[in-house]
Amino acid sequence: MIQPTTTPEIYIETAYAKINLALHVRARRADGYHEIETIFAFVDSGDRLEVSRRDDGAITLTVEGPFAQGLEGDDNLVMQAARALQPFGNGMGADIRLIKNLPVAAGLGGGSADAAAALRALLPLWGIRPMDIDLAEIALSLGADVPACLASVTLRGSGVGERLEPVDLGMNGAPVLLVNPQLPCPTGPVFRGWDGSDRGPLGQYPADWRNDLETPALKLVPEIKTVLTTLAGQKGVTLARMSGSGATCFALFESGEARDEAEAIISTAHPGWWTMAGALL
């Protein structure tokens, strides 16, 4: 498990941005969830979480940053994660500070990544040993993507995303650029817009990969097509795709220089778009 940065009083975690290198939707289940096959990968940047201990049992959450608006409250997944873990923490509480750098409803697993970061930070803060609890079950109870975000390594996911298998794609350190048109694309409506057609299993090679949610996402946010076309047209791109349910798209590059040049070009041409440059973990 990723170890948090610490000071004598504060545990600090990065909620790493999640991208889906592939997302094959295989079936819609009776319970409304979907059977998927996906490749989760993580970027070396994202939201920031800081936790400090309270001995009175109270849990507080402060949200700051460019995408903080409307995220404070008990329905935040960070608060839900803390509440789920607290019974194992000997009655201790926490003050939690979340710096929200990732856009919301963006296909980056931001809320799930925040919840996972909260779990990783609160375990040592409250002196909880992971082997003494069913951490995987707690993570899954918070959302289908939370177990993958808890590990924050490249994983092959199946089921609703909870069956995870580490994979080595040789892509660690690959330069990546994330771009979002600053338009929300809620996950629920995108999945409901999937046409129900099983287009086949996840193949071994990137050339065989796809994102089956791209078509329904485009119907909700047509600007995603412009983002994808813009990314694919940059020099040095090896793969360009929409992440998750959108609206964020990503491109992998041959070099960091090519990535940085692309970010400069895109930011100048589309100043209203959000971008984040990084590398795959």
Q: Annotated catalytic, 219?
A: no
The pLDDT of residue 6 is: 53
The pLDDT of residue 47 is: 98
Instruction: Report the share of the chain in percent with pLDDT over 70.
Output: 97
Ordered structural domains, the chain, with CATH: 5-166 (3.30.230.10), 175-279 (3.30.70.890)
161-188, pLDDT tens digit by residue?
Answer: 999 999 999 999 999 999 999 999 999 9
Please give the backbone phi and psi of residue 240, each rounded to the nearest 5 degrees, phi first.
-135, 130
CA distance 262 to 4: 32
The pLDDT of residue 205 is: 86
Q: Which tokens in the block code for residue 211? A: 């994102």
Catalytic-labelled residue, pool 47, 114, 145, 212: 145
When pLDDT is cut at 50, 70 and 90, the band that residue 207 belongs to is confident
* Average of per-residue pLDDT across 4-26: 88
Minimum mean pLDDT range among 23-27, 32-36, 119-123: 32-36
Catalytic-labelled residue, pool 18, 100, 114, 212: 18
The pLDDT of residue 4 is: 59
Q: Over the Cα atoms of the chain, what is R_g?
A: 19
The pLDDT of residue 9 is: 80
32 half-sphere exposure, CB direction, 13 A CA radius = 6
Q: Please state, rounded to an integer, the average pLDDT across all residues of the chain.
A: 95
CA 141 to chain centre: 16
Residue 217 in this model has a pLDDT that exceeds 90 = yes
Residue with tokens 């803060």: 125
Q: Annotated catalytic, 31?
A: no
Q: Do 39 and 22 form a contact (C-beta atoms < 8 A)?
A: yes
